Amino acid sequence: MHSVGFYVCPGHQVLDLAGPLGAFESVAAVLGRPAYELRVLSRAGGMVRGSAGLPIATQAARGAELDTLLTIGGELAPMLDADEAAAVRELAQDAARVASVCTGAFLLAEAGLLRGRRATTHWRAARRLQQRHPEVQVETDRIFVRDGAVWSSAGVTAGIDLALALIEADHGIDVARQVSRELVVYHRRAGGQSQFAPISHMEPESDRIRLALGFARDHLHQDLRLERLAEAAHLSPRQFGRLFHQETGETPAKAVERMRVEAARARLQDGAESIERIARAVGFGDPERMRRAFLKWHGMPPQALRRKERAPRA
């Protein structure tokens, strides 16, 4: 039987654990037989208190033999502890695959398991992960990322998407779909679909990057190539691109696209403008480019999002 271990630290987020655990547990109901042996582990074992103050019973990690190891997100300080990283590194040695949910990516990184790999985490923590571990290619705009035998997911409910993807890898897409129905969730958002973090939550340290973001926000309808943003920041394009990614965790082009999506969404909600007019007003130029951006960031085209957000008011 495939053994799955969920590694928790003090201050773990309950839903980061409960969502994936529930998904793996539901496979037995779909198949009509046990499919996974599920264990919650911690460095010392015993009761481990989560971020909400709820304690959970765990087994000691030492000596556990796992096929899949998942590190569960939560408060960052415990996951930066060298002893916790050493325990995860030892667990991962014989595991066929390792994965993280939300800020659990920090624990994999501290254990050296993300070196030279692509990974993701909750959008709010992505910049810190990139700064602390420049050897990791942090993809801030993904629901989950697979790099070989190492998987990582974005925050909280994205752990369910990750678990469904792992189940699909083990048992096929039909079983994963049936599990999603058991959980009453959408059948796994694609890993390539983006987390949607509001641009307002970007907090660059330097005045120059803040200046460039402000310029972009005020000139969305214009051509905002790298060179123009660099000029607004009084930096060379090369310096600007490097500093922008360092301080925001993403490229200038991606940030501009996100700002345009935010602006377009607000106009979709607030008025009866046509899709064509909105696309021109926020700098997409044509409806097809805007449609592709909305599919990327929201998983649905502008028309569908407008209908969805107007339905409750109706």
Residues belonging to the active site:
102
CA neighbor of 10 nearest in space, from 96, 83, 114: 83
> 277-280 long-range CB contacts below 8 Å, 24 or more apart?
278/302, 280/221
Q: Which helix (H) or strand (E) holds 130?
A: helix 123-132
Residue 255 one-letter amino acid: A
Q: Return the beta strands (E) in the chain as ranges.
A: 2-7, 36-42, 46-49, 55-60, 68-71, 97-100, 118-119, 137-138, 144-147, 150-153
φ, ψ dihedrals at 145, nearest 5°: -130, 135
| CA–CA distance, 253 with 259 (Å, rounded to integer) | 10
From the number of C-beta atoms within 10 Å of its C-beta (0-12, 13-18, 19+), residue 280 rates as: middle
| CA–CA distance, 150 with 117 (Å, rounded to integer) | 8
Residues with Cβ within 8 Å of 63's Cβ and at least 6 positions away in sequence, in order, are none
